[in-house]
A and B are shown apart, each in its own frame.
Chain A
């Protein structure tokens, strides 16, 4: 399974764009990159998933360069309610089965 590395924490202010980068140097050909958000005492919540280039949905964008060794989650115009832990996961159906490994996520603090 590909190991991921993210910043331990980040601070931002309301209305700013936040970019969280995840490194996954040994990503396999069939691996996808998935991001989850977790609030205290709640289960993680799926945000976005991608394989290459750029993916956008109603809450975030995911940028994946051609070598796929990193990815960046972009949160536009964050609000206080975006304060949470964000996890980057890398895996797929042909890499270690579906043993999901949550690494150390990024704790995002959004200030007023």
Chain B
């Protein structure tokens, strides 16, 4: 089954404790992206990747890191989480390129930073 998976689905952590949220897709998509969703703000793009080893900042990159060492995986790293990073996070992927921008979303990761 074609899908985007995220782990963990739910996470409670404390301020400053490094964490990684994994994202994997099995559709051989070139493009992957991370978003955070907050009430009243919709989804905001954190980082995106156009291919292996090619990443760029979205609108809200502060406090986050990403890497794209393999085509299928795009982990999101919070080196020193803070309470304002409490949010619902979505990973997405698409084929990329003109007319192929439909994004497929993972189920979401709900993060609480105490």
Are A and B bound to each other? no
List chain B positions with a Cβ less than 8 A from chain A: none
Residue positions of A touching B, CB distance < 8 A: none
